[in-house]
Amino acid sequence: MVLAAAVLHVLWNTLVKMSPEGYLATVLIAGGGALACAVALPFLPAIHGAAWINVAGSVIAQTIYYPLVAAAYRAGDMSQTYPLMRGTAPLLVAIVSGPLIGEHLTAGEWLGVALICCGIWGIGAGGFFGRSRSGRSRRRVHLSRATGLALLNAVVIASYTLIDGAGSRASGAPATYTAWIFLFTALPMMGWTLLRRPAVLVAAVRTRWWVGAVGGLANVGAYGLVLWAMTRAPVAAVAALRETSILFATVTAVLVLKEKADRYRIGAAVVIAAGTMVLRLA
């Protein structure tokens, strides 16, 4: 289920990458997911009252997450920022999940987490230690604004992962919990965009509604599967396994976006695959 979630995550991120304006695409995707959740909510069981505080915390974190994704992609290459965002987050989750929520990984699970994180960072190494298309030096890329934005978003990702790991369990109904999060997260995003750029939003809905529909369903499905998995397995292990999306993203970048796969990406993909096997068998 977590691997299926990773594929769905790559799908909606690819739609954002291929869109002429990244943040507007995230607004459409958030809106599409919220619409699907609004339709489903009357048929879903209620969540326990104790989980509403987690819903509120997650909505705040994810409302910050989407603009940071768009900002990181504007500031730097996706091949540099995405691995940092998605690779640092599970390591942070693994480090703090013990003292915060009482989950302690085994030595084998720690090895799997470490391998996956090393592989994810390795994919980004080509961007940091080679030359970008614009010819920027290693130092300029390493110290770029994109790096700071990506690392900041990794903290946000780790935050809502921990919040939702605990919230999905406390809710008693992970699917309903997920639906409320997506519904409440989309409202401020849609409202803000409608207030600031109403004509642009209306035009985007009219001409690119399918981005919201396909991306929204993929986004909700991806995160819903992850939250369900967190009710069955340690949050840190699920968070690390979830980041195998970068393995799928690398294949998508080569076959769909026609990007070049260098030795860093190929080697890192092998490390990620090894990490998933270790984590699965631990």
2 φ, ψ (degrees, to nearest 5)? -70, -40
pLDDT at 125: 62
Rounded Cα–Cα distance for residues 165 and 232 (Å) = 10
Smallest CA-to-CA distance from 117 within 85, 146, 91 is with 91
User: Consecutive sets of 10 residues in the chain, 282 residues long: mean pLDDT of each?
Assistant: 90 85 91 94 94 96 91 76 79 79 79 83 62 49 70 92 90 92 94 92 92 94 87 80 78 77 74 75 68
Q: Which residues contact 225 (CB under 8 A, 6 or more apart)?
A: 1, 2, 4, 5, 8
Copy the structure tokens of residue 206.
């009219």
| Owning domain of residue 187 | 2-281
Among all chains, which residue has been given the structure tokens 């409302």? 63
Pull the structure tokens for residue 54.
């987690």
Look at the chain and report how many structural domains it folds into: 1
Whether 267 contacts 93, CB under 8 Å: no
pLDDT of residue 139: 44
C-alpha 27/C-alpha 190 separation (Å) is 6
User: Which pLDDT score is estimated for 143?
Assistant: 44
Residue type, 274: A
